[in-house]
């Protein structure tokens, strides 16, 4: 049976990516970062930039949800990172119509430092 | 209301709030089914200068299950885009709008239609124009003709319309939400000892001068059923229908750009099949959850259907009026009649000449038997009125679903599953006092069937 209605997960593969134009400059939007373990960091970038490049080696294998665009390739729309837990390094990354969860304590701690 | 503002979260997100779903064999085209999903409830017609429009960031869908598992076999997706001709004026329009291509129309909306069938995606149309909202005689003269231009023909004999319509659902909200004080029976209400009402009064249609936004699509029957059905008793004749709205998981307010940023997979935030299920049967603490799930997950909510809270409230609110219902409630017997009507469909042998059974999976869907032809003289009480082409066989735009469901909950349909049960006399009379004639706009006899929306000039408040 097709799964289009089931939380719309499978439908995402068929969806047109967000048609908003790509931001003209790299920018980082920082939101409510908690003082403790949990915070939110949102980055709108054209692709995975230098801030992320050198951390990929330490990241656990990411879990994908909702499509195969955006990971390891150019991303046309905003990329939003939700730092779920600084200690464990658990991050949610949203790009286009995809969601990727990964564990990267180094990146997590750097993001946390950036918002203090 | 049918499903207007029915859950805490979606009540804060009107553009994604589904209000009504209709599914019926088209009276003027009986080889095609019309599916309608309404959104954006309770629109004041004069609500400018930013008149109502679909959400560009919302994924709207109408789903069809033709295999009885409560999951979509076919989904029609609708995605909208708003285009401004001139961002330097505050005006919605700068002169009369005589056509959809009018240079005087500033804030326009276009949409695409995509069909998802067994995982495959087909774009049926794109760049399809919505009509403007009905502003008034100077801005939108000959509105009916203007809206007709927004009925688009798509490949495969499909017709589609998306735009503002008059609210066709009628209900006395004021009385129902005032502790179910139905005006035609208000003198019988307990009134908590206040003795305010000593005689009946006519119902008041709370939606009488309000508009809604409709997505309507008319599709040949054979494109919706799993195979060409062979008569009313053929299980393949029955389809289940519901609508959903979905948003991307992340939404940020980008203060630098003064705009929202959306990202991530789409997730369902609104769902609607049968009218009033989430509104009246599902408890407050579970309404938001219900909105995120597919019908195939509805088994967990079945107890709210088979033991409806409203059925237990009617006897104490109307002392002495519902003694048989009170006894039925007290017995603890599950309301299998409501389960059949709302969650499985009615099997053959219950109502002569009728079935809309989709199997044992408990799923809230509108169930339409596509082999039942439209009724020449329809009865707005549907099957309760002896009209097999009306609710709960699908739902037509004029069906009196409030009265039908009130009577069903009050016990009028329990004899379908227990012939020994005698409904209270009041169960066959209870109503909020409205009929389809309570809708001032009336209805169209052709696609998209819902009436011409009320104009802001003529309906200023």
Mutate to test the interface with B, among A3, A8, A9 (most CBs of B within 10 A): A8
Q: How far apart are the first and last CA of chain B?
A: 20
pLDDT tens-digit series, residues B298-310: 999 999 999 999 9
Q: How far apart are the first and last CA of chain A?
A: 49
User: DSSP class of residue B162?
Assistant: E
Cα A8 from Cα B16, distance rounded (Å): 15
Provide the pLDDT for residue A61: 63
Q: Which of B75, B119, B121 sits opposite A5 (nearest CB)?
A: B75
Per-position DSSP letters for B352-394, written without gaps between them: TT------S-----EEEETTSPPPSS--TTGGGGT-TTSTTSS
Residue B67 with chain A: CB contacts under 8 Å: 1
pLDDT tens-digit series, residues B133-168: 999 999 999 999 999 999 999 999 999 999 999 999
Provide the pLDDT for residue B113: 98
Asked whether residue A112 carries a pLDDT value surpassing 60, the answer given is yes
Cα B458 from Cα B41, distance rounded (Å): 19
Provide the pLDDT for residue A76: 74
Token pair, residue B276, equals: 């009033």
Report the relative pairing of strands B366-369 and B238-254 from DSSP bridges: antiparallel
Angle at B350 between CA B348 and CA B355, to 5 degrees: 35
Segment B279-301 shows an average pLDDT of 96
Percentage, residues of chain B above pLDDT 90: 96
Provide the pLDDT for residue B154: 98
CA distances for A90 relative to B14, B237, B252, angstroms? 33, 49, 20
Q: Does B254 sit within 8 Å of A97, measured CB to CB?
A: no
Q: How far is CA B420 from the centre of its chain?
A: 34
Angstroms from B409 CA to nearest CA on chain A: 29
Under the banding of pLDDT at 50, 70 and 90, the label for residue A115 is confident
The β-bridge partners of B116 are B75, B121
Segment A6-20 shows an average pLDDT of 32
ipTM: 0.76
User: DSSP class of residue B186?
Assistant: G
Q: What is residue B99's three-state secondary structure? A: coil
Which positions ≥6 away from B30 have C-beta within 8 Å? B373, B374
Domain ranges of chain A: 10-114
Burial readout B208-221 (b: 16 or more C-beta within 10 A, e: otherwise): bbbbbbbbbbbbeb
Number of C-beta neighbours around residue B159 at 10 A: 19
Angstroms from A39 CA to nearest CA on chain B: 14
Angstroms from B79 CA to nearest CA on chain A: 9
Helices (H), B24-181: 143-148, 173-176
Cα B265 from Cα B56, distance rounded (Å): 15
pLDDT tens-digit series, residues B230-272: 999 999 999 999 999 999 999 999 899 899 999 999 999 999 9
Under the banding of pLDDT at 50, 70 and 90, the label for residue B435 is very high
Residue A44 with chain B: CB contacts under 8 Å: 254, 261
Provide the pLDDT for residue A51: 34
pLDDT tens-digit series, residues B305-359: 999 999 999 999 999 999 999 999 999 999 999 999 999 999 999 999 999 999 9
Q: Does A14 sit within 8 Å of B266, measured CB to CB?
A: no
Provide the pLDDT for residue B401: 98
Q: How far is CA B262 from the centre of its chain?
A: 28
Under 8 Å CB pairs connecting chains A and B tally to 118
Q: Does B246 sit within 8 Å of A94, measured CB to CB?
A: no
Residue B116 with chain A: CB contacts under 8 Å: 2, 4, 11, 14
pTM over 0.90: no
Under the banding of pLDDT at 50, 70 and 90, the label for residue B118 is confident
Nearest to B402 by CA among B105, B218, B59, B169: B169
Q: Does A97 sit within 8 Å of B261, measured CB to CB?
A: no
Segment B180-197 shows an average pLDDT of 97
């Amino acid at each position: 049976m097709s799964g289009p209605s089931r939380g719309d997960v499978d439908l995402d593969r068929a969806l047109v990516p967000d048609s908003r134009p790509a931001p003209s400059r790299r920018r980082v939007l920082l939101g409510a970062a908690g003082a403790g373990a949990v915070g939110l960091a949102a980055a709108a970038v054209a692709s995975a930039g230098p801030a992320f490049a050198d951390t990929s080696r330490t990241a656990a294998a990411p879990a994908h949800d909702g499509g195969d665009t955006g990971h390891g390739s150019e991303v046309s729309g905003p990329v939003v990172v939700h730092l779920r837990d600084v200690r464990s390094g658990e991050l949610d990354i949203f790009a286009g119509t995809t969601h990727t969860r990964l564990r990267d304590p180094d990146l997590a701690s750097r993001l946390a430092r950036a918002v203090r | 209301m049918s499903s207007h503002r029915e859950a805490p979260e979606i009540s804060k997100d009107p553009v994604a709030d589904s209000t009504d779903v209709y599914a019926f064999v088209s009276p003027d085209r009986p080889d095609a089914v019309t599916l309608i999903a309404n959104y954006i409830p309770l629109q004041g017609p004069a609500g400018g200068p930013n008149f109502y429009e679909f959400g560009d960031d919302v994924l709207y869908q109408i789903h069809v299950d033709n295999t009885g598992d409560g999951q979509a076999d076919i989904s029609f997706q609708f995605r909208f885009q708003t285009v401004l001709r001139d961002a330097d004026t505050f005006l919605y329009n700068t002169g009369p709008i005589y056509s959809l291509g009018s240079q005087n129309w500033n804030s326009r909306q276009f949409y695409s239609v995509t069909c998802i069938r067994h995982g495959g995606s087909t774009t049926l149309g794109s760049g399809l124009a919505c009509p403007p909202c009905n502003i008034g005689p100077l801005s939108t003269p000959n509105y009916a003709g203007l809206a007709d231009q927004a009925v688009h023909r798509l490949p495969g004999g499909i017709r589609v319309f998306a735009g503002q319509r008059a609210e066709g659902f009628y209900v006395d909200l004021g009385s129902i939400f005032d502790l179910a004080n139905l005006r035609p029976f208000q003198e019988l209400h307990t009134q908590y000892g206040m003795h305010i009402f000593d005689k009946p009064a006519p119902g008041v249609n709370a939606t009488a001068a309000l508009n809604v936004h409709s997505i309507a699509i008319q599709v040949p029957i054979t494109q919706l059923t799993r195979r060409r059905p062979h008569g009313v008793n053929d299980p393949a004749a029955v389809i289940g229908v519901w609508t959903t709205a979905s948003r991307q998981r992340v939404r940020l307010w980008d203060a630098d750009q003064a705009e929202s940023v959306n990202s991530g997979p789409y997730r369902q935030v609104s769902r609607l099949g049968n009218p009033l299920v989430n509104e009246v049967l599902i408890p407050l603490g579970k309404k938001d959850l219900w909105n995120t799930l597919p019908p195939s997950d509805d088994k967990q909510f079945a107890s709210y259907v088979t033991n409806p809270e409203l059925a237990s409230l009617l006897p104490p609110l109307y002392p002495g009026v519902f003694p048989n219902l009170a006894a039925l409630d007290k017995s603890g017997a599950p309301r299998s009649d409501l389960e059949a009507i709302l969650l499985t469909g009615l099997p053959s042998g219950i109502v002569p000449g009728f079935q809309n059974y989709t199997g044992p999976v408990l799923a809230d869907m509108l169930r339409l038997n596509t082999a039942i032809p439209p009724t020449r003289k329809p009865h707005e009480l549907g099957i309760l009125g002896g009209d097999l082409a009306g609710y709960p066989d699908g739902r037509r735009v004029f069906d009196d679903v409030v009265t039908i469901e009130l009577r069903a909950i009050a016990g009028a349909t329990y004899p379908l599953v227990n012939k020994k049960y005698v409904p209270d006399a009041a169960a066959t009379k209870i109503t909020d006092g409205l009929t389809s004639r309570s809708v001032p706009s009336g209805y169209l006899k052709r696609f998209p069937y819902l009436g011409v929306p009320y104009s802001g000039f003529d309906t200023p408040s």
